[in-house]
């Protein structure tokens, strides 16, 4: 019975570690996507939209640096939404 308890605890801890890595990987991917958009299709953003986009990208990078992956992903998602609105998607 003790070994069953240990197995359950180990699997829960393993899942938590994988979720943490997944969040960091997802954050990296979103930031890379936003940087690519900025370099290749930045002209689609204009006025206040461009400012907001770049501020949110900076916010996502800062959150990633501080280890706040939830804020990183939220900021990146908001920046992508601004881009999509500017492109009419």
All structural domains of the chain with their residue ranges: 22-87
The region of weakest confidence among 41-45, 63-67, 77-81 is 41-45
pTM for the whole structure = 0.70
Tell me: pLDDT of 6 over 80. no
Assigned token pair, 77:
């998602």
Q: If pLDDT is split at 50, 70 and 90, which confidence band does 44 have?
A: low
Residue 6 to residue 84: CA distance in whole angstroms = 47
Tell me: pLDDT of 45 over 60. yes
pLDDT attached to residue 15: 47
Tell me: pLDDT of 60 over 90. yes
| Burial of residue 57, with CB atoms counted within 10 A of its CB: 0-12 exposed, 13-18 middle, 19 or more buried | buried
Residue 14: φ, ψ to 5°: -65, -45
Residue 66 to residue 42: CA distance in whole angstroms = 27
């Amino acid at each position: 019975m003790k070994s069953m308890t240990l197995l359950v605890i180990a699997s829960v801890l393993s899942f938590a570690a994988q979720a943490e890595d997944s969040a960091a990987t997802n954050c990296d991917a979103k930031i890379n996507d936003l940087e690519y958009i900025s370099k290749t299709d930045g002209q689609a953003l204009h006025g206040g939209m461009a400012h907001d986009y770049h501020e949110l990208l900076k916010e996502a990078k800062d959150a990633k640096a501080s280890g706040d992956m939830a804020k990183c992903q939220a900021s990146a998602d908001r920046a992508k939404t601004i881009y999509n609105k500017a492109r009419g998607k």
